[in-house]
Amino acid sequence: MAQLISTKPYMLRAMHEWCVDNNLTPHLVVAVNGRTRVPMAYVKDGEIVLNINYSATKDLHMDNESVVFSARFGGVSQNIYVPMDAVRGIFARENGQGMFFELDDTTDAEAQPADEELASAADVSPEDRSKNRNNKKPTLTIVK
């Protein structure tokens, strides 16, 4: 049997449409890696939350591989590229309803770290890195 296409891009588009149809503001939760193109100044703890409402984006395009659009950050227009494997969830800002996706271990292992992560990783010993990795607990942050 041929390999099936992931359901994530279909669910993402459906949740986006549901938000827009209900006059809610869709926000995308993205895990930043080397393939993700977002303004690094707005990345916190390796993630960024992006407003993907039509009024906040230009030329929004969601296909099975990526989410691509232009948006203004601090008044400066920037082109955004989010590979589908970096999408962690989509939710409505007004009520928090949405959908979050499980992490794919193979995708995360293949993802290249961002340039800033590479620079800071050079200053940390391998022992400290393994300690930090083991001490991190998953958290859920409510974004309003």
Q: Where are the alpha helices (DSSP H) in 1-144?
A: 8-21, 105-110, 115-121, 126-135
Instruction: Determine the pLDDT at residue 103.
Output: 66
Residue-wise pLDDT tens digits, 29-84:
999 999 999 999 999 999 999 999 999 999 999 999 999 999 999 999 999 999 99
Q: What are the structural domain ranges in the chain?
A: 8-134
Whole-model pTM over 0.85: no
Kindly state the DSSP code that residue 54 receives in the 8-state scheme. Answer: T
Residue-wise pLDDT tens digits, 101-134:
986 654 443 444 444 443 444 444 444 444 444 4
Do 31 and 104 touch, CB atoms closer than 8 A?
no
Structure tokens at 59: 């030329």
Instruction: Determine the pLDDT at residue 138.
Output: 59
Question: In sequence order, what are the beta bridge partners of 29?
Answer: 49, 89
Instruction: Determine the pLDDT at residue 90.
Output: 96
Q: State the amino acid at position 12 in one-letter form.
A: L
Instruction: Determine the pLDDT at residue 136.
Output: 53
Cβ count near 88 (within 10 Å): 15
| SS3 assignment for 96-132 | CCEEECCCCHHHHHHCCCCHHHHHHHCCCCHHHHHHH
- Fold type of domain 8-134: SH3 type barrels. (2.30.30)
Instruction: Determine the pLDDT at residue 2.
Output: 84
